Amino acid sequence: MLHGHFLNLFDSDMQVIESVALRPGSRYFLLDLDRRKSADPAILASACKTLGAQVMPDGSFAFYAEGPGKVEAVVRVRMPHEPKEVTIDGHPLPAPARAWHAGSNTLLLRFPNSAQGHRLSIH
């Protein structure tokens, strides 16, 4: 049994798991969120292509995401604290499309993929 904060990268929901029972025949590809080396914002995992992630001069964290249309993008981001606002292409991303996990200081984002891409900003 493993205890901590993990992402199972085989899980498309990218939910934070706090305990994992390793049993014969089970399959996990775990990212240990407690082993982070920095509190700086970073994309930890994504079900889309992410490019150009950076902390902006105003302190926000921004990146570009793209993927095939009609498929949901899922991104897990490490943040130093819970963000006040998330925007996609300059429009607020509604609360149901984002979820904060305080135990791991990570933010889960869900939004429609686009081959043209989206610009996301976390404030």
Query: pLDDT tens, 75-107?
Result: 999 999 999 999 999 999 998 899 999 999 999
Contact 122, 84 (CB under 8 A): no
What pLDDT does 70 receive?
87
Going by C-alpha positions, the residue among 77, 11, 88 that lies closest to residue 44 is 77
For 12, what's the count of Cα atoms within 13 Å in the CB-facing half-sphere? Answer: 4
Between CA 6 and CA 95 the distance in angstroms is 23
What average pLDDT score do residues 8-29 get? 92
Identity of the amino acid at 41:
P
C-alpha distances out from residue 90 to 37, 51, 86, 114, 122, Å: 31, 17, 9, 15, 11
SS3 of residue 33 by DSSP: helix
Per-residue pLDDT tens over the stretch 26-77? 899 999 999 877 889 999 999 999 999 999 999 999 999 999 988 999 999 9
pTM of the model: 0.91
